[in-house]
A and B are shown apart, each in its own frame.
Chain A
Amino acid sequence: MVDPKVIIRMGSHAEKDYIEKTARYLDGIIVGANLFEATPGATATLLGKRLNKPYYIDPMTYAYGRNLDLIKSPQGKTRELDFKRSYKNLSEKLSQPFTSALRKNSRVTPKDFEGGLKTEKCCQAVMEYQLNRIKEKFDEDPEYKEYASDIPNPAAIYAPYFYIEPNNHDAWLDLVLLLAGVSAGLKYDVPVHAIICTDQPMLDYPNFLSKLKSELPRTGVEGVWFWFSDFDELTSDVERLKAFRSLVEDVSKEIKVYNLHGGYFSLSLCKYGLSGVSHGVGYGEQKSVVPVVGAATPTVRYHLPDFHKRLGVPAIQRCFDSLGIKTPDDFHEKICGCVVCKGVVSKDLAEFRLFGDMAYSTPISKRLAQTPAAAKRCRFHFLMNRIRERDELKEKNVEGILAELDAVEEKWSGQVSVKDDMTHLSRWRQALA
Chain B
Amino acid sequence: MDDTSDFDRESLLLKPVAAYFRRKSFRWQEEELPFYAHRVDLYGFSRVSGRTVAVELKLHKWQRAFAQVILYQLCADYVYIAMPANSIGRVDIDLLKTHGIGLLSIGNGGRCRQILGSEQSTVVCDNYKDIYVNILTKGEEYKW
Q: Which residues of A contact B (CB under 8 A)?
A: 299, 312-315, 317-318, 320-321, 350, 353, 356-360, 367-368, 416-417, 420
Determine whether the beta carbon of B36 is less than 8 Å from that of A314.
yes
**Assuming the A-B contacts A318-B123, A320-B123, are A358 and B144 also in contact, with contact meaning beta carbons closer than 8 angstroms in the complex?**
yes
Determine whether the beta carbon of A358 is less than 8 Å from that of B74.
no
Determine whether the beta carbon of A358 is less than 8 Å from that of B36.
yes
Determine whether the beta carbon of B127 is less than 8 Å from that of A357.
no
List CB contacts (< 8 Å) of B44-99 with chain A. 67, 70-71, 73-74, 99
- Give the secondary structure class of B's interface: loop
**Assuming the A-B contacts A318-B70, A417-B70, are A358 and B34 also in contact, with contact meaning beta carbons closer than 8 angstroms in the complex?**
yes
* Neighbour of B71 across the interface among A314, A321, A360, CB < 8 A: A314
Query: Is B12 interfacial (CB 8 A cutoff)?
Result: no
Q: Which residues of B contact A (CB under 8 A)?
A: 34-38, 67, 70-71, 73-74, 99, 122-123, 125, 127-128, 142-144
Chain B residues with CB under 8 Å of A317's CB are 74, 125
- Please give me the residue from chain A that is nearest to B141 by CB atom: A360
Whole-angstrom distance from the CB of A425 to the nearest CB of chain B? 19
* CB contacts between A and B, total, < 8 Å: 42
Determine whether the beta carbon of B143 is less than 8 Å from that of A312.
no
Whole-angstrom distance from the CB of A312 to the nearest CB of chain B? 6
Pairs across A and B, CB under 8 Å, 18 listed:
A299-B37, A312-B36, A314-B38, A315-B71, A317-B125, A318-B70, A318-B123, A320-B123, A353-B128, A358-B36, A359-B144, A360-B142, A367-B34, A416-B70, A416-B99, A417-B67, A417-B70, A420-B67
**Assuming the A-B contacts A318-B70, A417-B71, are A368 and B99 also in contact, with contact meaning beta carbons closer than 8 angstroms in the complex?**
no
Whole-angstrom distance from the CB of B76 to the nearest CB of chain A? 12
Whole-angstrom distance from the CB of B100 to the nearest CB of chain A? 11
Chain B residues with CB under 8 Å of A313's CB are 36
Determine whether the beta carbon of A368 is less than 8 Å from that of B142.
yes
Chain B residues with CB under 8 Å of A314's CB are 35-36, 38, 71, 74
Determine whether the beta carbon of A318 is less than 8 Å from that of B37.
no
| Bound complex: CA A312 to CA B71 (Å) | 10
Chain B residues with CB under 8 Å of A358's CB are 34, 36, 144
- Please give me the residue from chain B that is nearest to A357 by CB atom: B144
Whole-angstrom distance from the CB of B61 to the nearest CB of chain A? 14
Determine whether the beta carbon of B127 is less than 8 Å from that of A350.
yes
| Bound complex: CA A121 to CA B36 (Å) | 54
Whole-angstrom distance from the CB of A376 to the nearest CB of chain B? 16
